Structure 1
Amino acid sequence: MANLSGFNASASANPNPNKSFEVVQPPTDSVSSLSFCPKGNYLVATSWDNQVRCWEILRTGSSMPKASISHDQPVLCSTWKEDGATVFSGGCDKQVKMWPLMSGGQPTTVAMHDAPVKEIAWIPEMNLLATGSWDKTLRYWDTRQPAPVHTQQLPDRCYALTVRYPLMVVGTADRNLIVFNLQNPQTEFKRISSPLKYQTRCVAAFPDQQGFLVGSIEGRVGVHHLDDAQQSKNFTFKCHREGNEIYSVNSLNFHPVHHTFATAGSDGAFNFWDKDSKQRLKAMSRCSQPIPCSAFNNDGSIFAYAVCYDWSKGAENHNPAAAKTYIFLHTPQVTDQIPNQFGL
C-alpha cells in the first residue's frame, strides 16, 4: 500500500516540476473539481473550503480572479451551462446552486438531495440538470421548478458521472456501472460490474458515445465498449504506479479535438494516452502532492490540474496550513496528443 512517507520520499518536493503556469489566489483547501467555460477561457474550481471560484485565463497563461460564491459546506462538483454564462455547483450541504456568473447575479438553490451531491451534469439537449448523490439517487431537474422531474434509484452511492448525449454512465459504490440512453432516461440501458477489481473513482464517455473509460483507486483504467460485438476491443491498463506503490486514478479527460485522453492520479502525475493504439503518448513529471482533478478547456489548448491533498489518508493526515493548494495550467504540445507523431 502507498503511504505518506513513501510518497514524500519518492516524489520531488517541487509542486510544479512541469513548469506549468500557476493560477493566482488558489483555494485555501483542497480542490474537488475543475471545469472550463464552454465559450471562453474561464476556469471554475470548487473546494473543501466551501467556495466556488472563477478565474479568467489570459493568452499569456496568466490568470485573473473574477468572482466567487460560498456554500455552507465543502463543494464537491461543478459544471457550466452551454451558454458559457451560468455555473452549477453541488456538495456536502446537499444542494446544487445555479450561479449566473457572467451577469453578476446571485446564486439560487435549484436542486436538493438527502445526502451530499457528488456529481452534476448539465444536459443541453434535454434542458435538464442531472445530479448524483450519496443518497443513492440520480435526479433530473428543470431549474425553473422546485421538485425533480424524475428521480432514478441507484444501486448504491454515486461516485462518478459522465454524459455525452445520449450516453450517460454513472459509477456507484460496489463497482456498479449504470449506463443510460438519455432518449429514454427513466430506464437503465445496461448495468455492468466494473472491469476493475477496486472502487470506481472516475468515468469518461468516449467522444463518439460508443463506450467509456473507468478509473479506480488501484491505479488502473478500463476501456469499455458498449456494443457486444466490440467487446474484443475492451482492455484495462496500469497507470499511476511506481514499484510497489499504487495510487488512485482520480481524473479522466478526453481531449476535445484529438480524442486522446489524460489521466491524473494521487501519485502527483498526469499522462496523455491514445486508447486506439493502446499507447501512452506523454508522461509528465510527478508533482509533490496528489492531483485530485483536472480539465481541458474547450479547444484543448489548456489542461488545468490541481495539486493538493486528496483526502485518501483521511482528515488526520491533512494539514492545510502546511501544504499549499495549487492549480496549474499546462499547454499540451501537439505531439502530446497526436499518436502518429510517435510513429505508433
Structure 2
Amino acid sequence: MMFSAPSTFGTTSTGFGGFGNTSTTPATANPMKDFEVINPPDDSVQCLEFSPAALQQDFLVAGSWDNNVRCWEVQRDGKTVGKAQQTMGGPVLDVAWQDDGTKVYMASADKSVHCWDLGSNQKVQVAAHDAPVKTVHWIKAPTYSCIMTGSWDKTLKFWDTRSPNPIMSMQLPERVYCADVDYPMAVVGTANRNIIVYWLEQQPQECKQIESPLKYQHRCVSIFRDKKNTPAGFALGSVEGRVAIQYINAPNPRDNFTFKCHRSANGTPNGFQEIYAVNDIKFHPTHGTLATVGSDGRFSFWDKDARTKLKNSEAMEQSISCCAFNNNGQIFAYAVSYDWSKGHESYNPQKKNYIFLRPCVDELKPRTR
C-alpha cells in the first residue's frame, strides 16, 4: 500500500527547509536555486496538484503529455521521494485529489477520467466524454460529493463515481478551456471567451454568464475568497499577458480590474514589447495573494487588493506551464517545460522538464500599507 508507511519525519514542524539544492542541475536551469523534484516527467507538464489537508504529509501529483501521472512525497527538508505512477491512454490534461487524500482523478485526452486509488495503486474509469477531457474537479458538498468534468465536447458533467452515467450533464456554448471549484462556487471558461458561474449548493446550477473582460482567449481561471473567507470572484489569465480580477457581485465596479503581466520589461530593440501567455494562476491558501506563471519562463507573486507585484522570478530556460501551492501555503511548486506557445519549430527535445519547489510563505505576505 502506497500510503501506509509511517513518516520518518516529525509532524510538529510546519517549516519547509532552507535553500541549498545539491543537485547537479546547471544554474541556468534553476536560476532561483529552488528544490528540484526527482525523476520529472519526460514530456510537458500540464498540471500539478498537492494533497489535501486530510493527509499529514505533502504529496505532489503531476500530469503530463507523456500520458503519465506521477506522485511524490515532499519531505520537510525539501527533498522528494517518488512514490508511484499511473499511465493513461493519452496526454493527462488535469488531476484532482479527493478531499480525504485517498484518491486522485485523472482527466485525459483519451476522452476518459480515471480514479487512481492510492492505497491499492489501482485505477478505474469513472467518467467519459466524446472528446478530450480538459478539466476535473472534486466537489464535496454537505449533501453530496461528485466529480465535475469539462470537455472539448462542449459539455460539463457531474458524476457519482459509483455510477457509469453522469448525475447531470450541461450543454455549454463552446469547448471547455479552464475551470475551478471552491465550494459552493464553480467557474468554467470556454472557447470564444465565455465564462459561466455555477452554484453548487443542493445541486449544481448555472448562476450567471459573464462576458470575458479580456479581449483574447483565456487560458486559466482561479477562484478567490473575500475577507469573510467566502468564494467571491475569480482571476482569469489570457494568452495576451493579462489577468482580470472579477467579483461575482462587485461591491464597487472599480473592484473589477485587469493588469498586465508576463511581458518583456524594456521592449525589444525594434521597440515592440514581447507578450507571453499566462499559463496558470493560483491563490495562496492563507494570505489570499496570488501567483501567475507564464510562457516567458517566469513566476510572479501579486497582491490583488493592494494592486502591487510582490515578486518576479528570474527567467527559466523554458516556459512555466503550471503551478500549485500546498494546503498550508508553505510550498510553491512550478513546472518548467515547453508549452508549445511558439509552435513545433521552437521545441528543443534536448531541454529537460523540471518541477521546482520553493518555500514561499514570506514572499506572498501582503505588504503592510
Which TM-score bucket, shorter chain as reference? over 0.9
The one-letter code matched in structure 1 to 2:182 is R
**Structure-1 separation of matches of 2:128 and 2:62:** 21
- Taking structure 1 as the reference length, the TM-score comes to 0.92
Equivalence for 1:62: 79
Q: Name the counterpart of 2:21.
A: none
Say if 1:45 and 1:52, in contact at 8 Å, map to a contact too: yes
What residue in structure 2 maps to residue 202 of structure 1?
A: 220
1:88/1:99 contact within 8 Å kept: yes
Inter-partner Cα distance in structure 1 for 2:322 and 2:85: 19
1:185-204 alpha-carbon deviations (Å, 9 max, x no partner) = 55321101110110010001
Amino acid at match of 1:139: K
1:66 alignment partner AA? K
Q: Give 1:171's aligned residue.
A: 189
**Residues 1:332 and 2:360 are matched in the alignment:** yes
Aligned counterpart, 2:42: 28
DSSP 3-state at the match of 1:241: coil
Stretch deviating more after TM superposition (87-96 or 311-320): 311-320
Alignment counterpart, residue 133 of structure 2, candidates 109, 117, 124: 117
Q: Does the aligned pair in 2 maintain the 1:224–1:231 contact within 8 Å?
A: no
Please give the secondary structure, in 2, of the residue aligned with 1:338. coil
- The aligned counterpart of 2:15 is none
Tell me if structure 2 keeps the 8 A contact 1:13–1:288.
no
Written as runs of structure 1 = structure 2, the 5 A alignment for 1:171-190 is: 171-183=189-201, 185-190=203-208
Q: Distance in 2 between matches of 1:185 and 1:246?
A: 41
CA distance in 1 between counterparts of 2:106 and 2:253 reads 36
SS of 1:339 mapped into structure 2: coil
Query: What's the secondary structure of 1:337's corresponding residue?
Result: coil
Q: Which runs of 4+ in 1 moved over 4 A?
A: none
Contact 2:301 2:312 in 1 (8 A): yes
> Percent of counterpart pairs with the same letter?
52
Contact 1:213 1:252 in 2 (8 A): yes
Q: Specify the code of the residue in structure 2 equivalent to 1:65.
A: G
1:237 alignment partner AA: F
TM-score by length of 2: 0.86
SS, match of residue 252 in structure 2: helix
2:305: which partner in 1?
276
User: Which protein has the bigger helix share?
Assistant: 1
Structure 1 pair 187/82, CA: closer, same or farther in 2 (3 Å)?
Answer: closer
User: Is 1:219 aligned to residue 258 of structure 2?
Assistant: no
CA contact (8 A) 2:61 2:70 kept: yes
Contact 1:204 1:214 in 2 (8 A): yes
Q: Hey, what's the Cα distance between the residues in 2 that align with 1:171 and 1:145?
A: 27
Q: CA deviation at 1:184?
A: 5.9
**Matched AA of 2:196:** I
**SS of the residue 1:288 aligns to:** coil
Q: Which residue of 2 is the match for residue 9 of structure 1?
A: none
Per chain length, whose mean CA-contact separation is higher, i.e. which structure has more relative contact order (CA < 8 Å, sep 6+)? 1
Question: Aligned partner of 2:120: which letter?
Answer: G
CA shift, 1:231, in A, is 2.3
| Distance in 1 separating the partners of 2:351 and 2:281 | 25
**Aligned equivalent of 2:11:** none
Distance 1:184 1:152 in 2: 16
Compared CA separation, residues 132 and 274, structure 1 to 2 (3 A): same
Matched residue of 2:281: which SS? Answer: strand
Q: Of the candidates 161, 176, 201, which is equivalent to residue 179 of structure 2?
A: 161
Among 241, 262, 277, which residue is 2:291 paired with?
Answer: 262
Give the match for residue 3 of structure 1.
none
Q: Does 1:132 align with 2:154?
A: no
Q: Deviations over 1:250-293 (max 9, x none)?
A: 11111111111101111011111111111111111111100010
| Amino acid paired to 1:28 | D
Contact 1:152 1:186 (C-alpha < 8 Å) held by counterparts: no
Which residue is 1:253 aligned to?
Answer: 282
Q: Which runs of 5+ in 1 are unaligned?
A: 1-11
1:238 and 2:260 are equivalent in the alignment: yes
The alignment partner of 2:335 has SS state of strand
Q: Partner residue of 1:72? A: 89
Asked if the contact 1:262/1:270 (under 8 Å) is kept, the reply is yes
Aligned to 2:316: 287
Q: Which residue of 2 aligns with 1:8?
A: none
Count of matched residue positions in the alignment of Structure 1 and Structure 2: 328
Q: Give the 3-state SS of the residue equivalent to 1:246 in structure 2.
A: coil
> How far apart, CA to CA, are the structure 2 residues paired with 1:283 and 1:221?
15
Please give the per-residue CA displacement for 1:155-180, whole angstroms capped at 9, x wherever unaligned. Answer: 10000101111111000000001001
Separation (CA, whole Å) in 1 of partners of 2:251 and 2:59: 41
Between 236-245 and 225-234, report the one with greater CA deviation.
Answer: 225-234
CA contact (8 A) 1:13 1:287 kept: no
Match of 2:161 in 1: 143
Equivalent residue number for residue 107 of structure 1: 123
Instruction: Provide the residue aligned with 2:62 in structure 1.
Output: 45
- Alignment check: 8 A CA contact 2:89 2:108 kept: no
* In 1, Cα distance between equivalents of 2:97 and 2:139: 10
Q: Residues 17 and 158 of structure 1: is their aligned pair in 2 closer, same or farther, counting only changes over 3 Å?
A: same
- What CA distance in whole angstroms lies between the structure 2 residues aligned with 1:273 and 1:185? 34
Letter in 1 for 2:133: V
